[in-house]
Chains A and B, each alone.
Chain A
Amino acid sequence: MSRSSGSLQREPDRAPLPISAHGLAVETEHLVASIPSLLIGLDANDRIVLWNTQAEALLERSAAEVGGRPLDGLDLPWDRDRILAGLAACRSSGRPVRIEDIACTLPGQAPRVLGLTVNPMADGTPSPLRLILMGADITARKQLEEQLAQAQKMEAIGQMAAGIAHEISTPAQFVGDNTQFLREAFGDLQQVLTVYGQLADAVRKDGAMPSILKALEATIEEADLDYLAEEVPNAIEHIMNGVERISRIVRSMKLFAHPGGEEKTPVDLNEAIESTIVITRNEWKYVAELTTDLDPQLPPVPCLRGEFNQVILNLITNAAHAIADAANGRPGTKGSIHVATACRPQWAEIRIQDSGTGIPEAIRHKVFDLFFTTKEEGRGSGQGLALAHAVIVDQLGGQLRFETTEGRGTTFILRLPREAEAHGHG
């Protein structure tokens, strides 16, 4: 296999190639060979006229093998149909076409991911080149992105687990205490009932009444019967309340954690939002009153449930943090978070409004950047809003924007298409 040069001009057993015929300078040839991207050039008949070193390396075919042959006739280890579709689209539109995430698997090697662009050459150039396919191996970047998403998930899970533990510990505490009380109360009642039993016997036999009556009074006194009569029903009420609270948290966790698969499925956004509010309660309850106005008419919307839940979690957590920051130095004042859903003609709209610090003008353009954060270490890694953007805009084909006033607060507005788009990816 020739590795000395990626261009095709010095192949002896072929007709002189147009590239050399048009006098491609040696420098340009070297340049093409040294470009770290894959470069494939096609002529008007889709025949290969350029095949650089990277193309040889990535696809394991030498320039000598493929030169002059039409691209669609080659059995290359990549998704041929998508490539050809991309070429066709470029040719008909005359504009560059991006082909993302082409799987490329060489026998005996781990699958790799390529990112490609098809660029048209301007008409009227003397070169026979009509299309240039340019691309790179983005496997490492893809893996890094996946790891980051995973890390963000782990961060959120850790934070959530601590919060949920606290949420459950409160009802668990009073359920336990009330149960302990009922156990003791029942013991006391048994004492009273025993003496009542004796009293009944005594009445039947009609003797020794006064002493048993005295014993009964003492037992009732010790058991504090009036108190028990009043408090036992309350204790039972509280236990039911506590168990209901725990159950609600557990139900919400199940809804939240439900992975929902990788395909979009119709999701009841109101229900998803409510469950996320329950499990994030520990994040906001000390700093804000949270109100909702969820449109009951909102139909299920094609959505990725797990990702959507995480976006809402991030936005509510951010809102709580912004309010805590705004309240810094003014303890005792609670802020507000308002979550609303509404049905628009083409969109399902979600608004998450907080009375926090607002976003300063200077950083507004950066809030969706990955790793951009104003929070101290341990409170956020700067992935929350970047993830929200990736999910809402890139994956779900929706919109994500915000309105903010410094010192007054911020509203994030999410819009998801109500109908699945016919085309598009994700």
Chain B
Amino acid sequence: MDKKHLLFVDDEPMVLKGLQRSLRSMRHDWEMTFVNSGAEALAVMCAQAVDVVVSDMRMPEMDGAQLLECVKQDYPQVVRIILSGQLDREMILKSVRLAHQHLSKPCDAVLLKDALAKTFALNDILAHAGLKKIVAGIDALPSMPTICMEVMEEVQSADASIQKVADIIARDLGMAAKILQMVNSAFFGLCRRVGDIRDAVKLLGLDAIKALVLSVNVFAAFEKEKLGLLDFEGLWQHSLATGGFARHIMRAAGQPRDEVDAAFLAGMLHDIGKLILAVNFGSEYQKVIQAPGSETRAEWEREQAAFGASHAEIGAYLMGLWGLETALLAAIAFHHNPGQSQIGEFGPLAAVHLADVFDRQTPAGEGGDVDYLNTIGVQQRVAEWRQGCADLEGENQ
């Protein structure tokens, strides 16, 4: 296996020495370079391939934001992580589009090792170098133009309310995903996972949302011609329903609260890769969606044939880069084919898989991966859960 190359940048030499020593146990797997400034970091990257950059934020001359801007521009495939003790909101907003992940100093060595190892494990989800480069370069997901306008108007109005903003954002997949990324990043130092979009918006606060919308432009309206046939509204409806169903199934199976929340989040985000495909592969992706009547393969299988990976793996890879937990990633990556995952027991993956199937109303007989469901021993409960989800939907209408 090739050694991964990590580049650490900090203006404080003692922090670098400390990192070097505490990460020493990884020396057989990782090659690590430690430099004191942004300029040195760029020089290293110019000379050798780097997989991950871990940078401090406040540094004299070139600061972390400026460095990561350059890295993003010239080496989009490189994973960019900020390790900073600067807690202020301004810094977070400055870096939200530049860094994949934010870690707050002091950061426990075990936690840092874990975050880095998780990033490398993403290779198992998506190995295709070209796709990885595209996904790593994504800093925002497309949103519905009408909703962008609404958010814009609301935050600028004299009597803007956080409740209204939350309600608007909760209707758009791209915005919701970005907000969840921010709130769940270690930067905010929250101990619990935030799965509810309205809660997430409130946690960020009106000022932060305002800055995100107006100056950081984190919510990008999609261009109609690019998205073409993708049914944006339908995608979001399906995402919401899948999240809700997955939560229901987990509860019905008596799973702990934390797992239930994970399944809900994964359900909401399971098709996020479709946005990435639509934006980056416009016409090619349209061809995949518009399959001739004779086509027998499922949409995700056609995606794999056309791009080397389906929306499931691509979405999971981005969410992984953005620091979402491994449990969620598996549920997103394998929601069509859970049998191919390493997960041999019931959990968010199975719940999202079933929820997706239930909402797409596929006829009986296509009720999911029966072999897998048998293996993990829940097949006999599927009918009951399907009924429960149908009832749930009835209540909501």
Interface residues of A (CB under 8 A from B): 162, 165-166, 168-178, 180-181, 184, 227, 231, 234-235, 238, 241-242, 286, 331-332, 334
Contacts and interface: CB of A to CB of B under 8 A. Distances in A.
Contacts of B85: 165-166, 168-170, 173
A284 to B, nearest CB: 11
Given A166-B85, A176-B107, A180-B110, 12 more contacts: A166-B87, A169-B106, A171-B14, A172-B106, A173-B106, A176-B22, A176-B106, A177-B109, A181-B18, A238-B14, A242-B14, A286-B59
B61 A172 contact: no
B60 A162 contact: no
B17 A234 contact: yes
A238 B104 CA distance: 21
Given A166-B86, A184-B25, A173 B61 contact: no
B345 interface: no
A235 B106 contact: no
Interface of B: 12, 14-15, 17-19, 21-22, 24-25, 58-62, 85-88, 104-110
A181 B22 contact: yes
Contacts, number: 83
Nearest to B21: A181
Q: Please list the 8 inter-chain residue pairs (A to B) with the smallest Cβ-Cβ separation, ordered nearest first.
A: A169-B85, A177-B18, A174-B18, A181-B21, A177-B22, A172-B106, A180-B109, A169-B105
B105 A173 contact: yes
B378 to A, nearest CB: 41
Residue from the set B21, B24, B105 with the largest chain A CB neighbour count within 10 Å = B21
B16 to A, nearest CB: 8
A317 to B, nearest CB: 15
B60 A170 contact: no
Residue from the set A165, A175, A227 with the largest chain B CB neighbour count within 10 Å = A165
B87 A177 contact: no
Contacts of A173: 15, 18, 85, 105-107
Residue from the set B18, B58, B60 with the largest chain A CB neighbour count within 10 Å = B18
Contacts of B60: 286, 332, 334
Given A286-B58, A286-B60, A170 B21 contact: no
Contact of A181 (B24, B108, B110): B24
Given A170-B12, A286-B58, A184 B17 contact: no
A173 B16 CA distance: 10
A17 B357 CA distance: 102
A162 B24 contact: no
Residue from the set B88, B106, B107, B110 with the largest chain A CB neighbour count within 10 Å = B106
A172 B22 contact: no
A176 B17 contact: no
Contact of B58 (A166, A175, A177): A166
Residue from the set A168, A173, A227 with the largest chain B CB neighbour count within 10 Å = A173
A331 B61 contact: yes
A177 B61 contact: no
Residue from the set A174, A184, A334 with the largest chain B CB neighbour count within 10 Å = A174
B88 A170 contact: no
20 contacts: A166-B85, A171-B14, A173-B15, A174-B12, A174-B15, A176-B106, A176-B107, A177-B18, A177-B22, A180-B22, A181-B18, A181-B109, A235-B18, A238-B17, A242-B14, A286-B59, A331-B61, A331-B62, A332-B61, A334-B60
A178 B18 contact: yes
B107 A184 contact: no
B42 to A, nearest CB: 14
A235 B105 contact: no
A178 B22 contact: yes
Contact of B21 (A162, A177, A242): A177
Contacts of A171: 14
A286 B12 CA distance: 12
A91 B334 CA distance: 96
A230 to B, nearest CB: 11
Residue from the set B25, B87, B88, B109 with the largest chain A CB neighbour count within 10 Å = B109
A176 B87 contact: no
Contacts of B21: 177-178, 180-181, 231, 235
A234 B59 CA distance: 24
Contact of A174 (B14, B24, B87, B110): B14
A176 B111 CA distance: 12
Contacts of B59: 286
A170 B61 contact: no
A162 B87 contact: yes
B91 to A, nearest CB: 10
A81 to B, nearest CB: 52
Residue from the set A166, A177, A286, A331 with the largest chain B CB neighbour count within 10 Å = A177
Nearest to B108: A176
Contacts of B25: 184
Residue from the set B24, B59, B61 with the largest chain A CB neighbour count within 10 Å = B24
